Amino acid sequence: MIKSELVQIVAEQNPHLFQRDVENIVNAILEEISNALAQGNRVELRGFGAFSVKHRAARTGRNPRTGERVDVEEKWVPFFKTGKDLRERLNAEV
């Protein structure tokens, strides 16, 4: 599923809204999550999962081809942990 398909599904369930509105809604949600992470905040959506930012310390890596040492700067990466309900739903035997 891609974003436009998600928009279409939500729009079909809400016939009083224009597709454009639904697009705005989906974008507002995703941008709010991205911006929260950019500010170093977490976003916890019970039943779905939690977005957070993980810090990776600077380290000396190696170029796997040449074996040469390279300094890797510290970084911050977005991280998602699947929530309990969704984890269970993914594995429910039907």
Partner 1 sequence: MTKTLTRADLSEAVYQRVGLSRSESSGLVETVIEEICRAAVDGQNVKLSSFGTFAVRSKNERVGRNPKTGEEVPITPRRVMVFKPSNIMKKLVLDEHRKRSA
Cα first-last separation, the chain? 22
Minimum Å distance from CB 65 to partner 1? 23
Contact status: 84 vs partner 1 (CB under 8 A): no
- Paired with 80 in beta bridges are 51
Please list every residue from 51 through 70 that binds partner 1, using CB under 8 A: 51, 53
Taking the C-alpha atoms of residue 5 and residue 2, their distance in angstroms, rounded to an integer, is 5
User: How big is the site for partner 1, counted in residues (CB under 8 A)?
Assistant: 49
Question: Looking at 15, 19, 33, 64, which residue binds partner 1 (CB under 8 A)?
Answer: 33
Taking the C-alpha atoms of residue 61 and residue 74, their distance in angstroms, rounded to an integer, is 12
Q: Using an 8 Å Cβ cutoff, are 81 and 50 in contact? A: yes
Minimum Å distance from CB 12 to partner 1? 10
- Paired with 77 in beta bridges are 54
Binding residues for partner 1 (CB under 8 A)? 1-3, 6, 9-10, 13-14, 21-22, 24-26, 28-34, 36-49, 51, 53, 75-80, 82, 86-87, 89-92
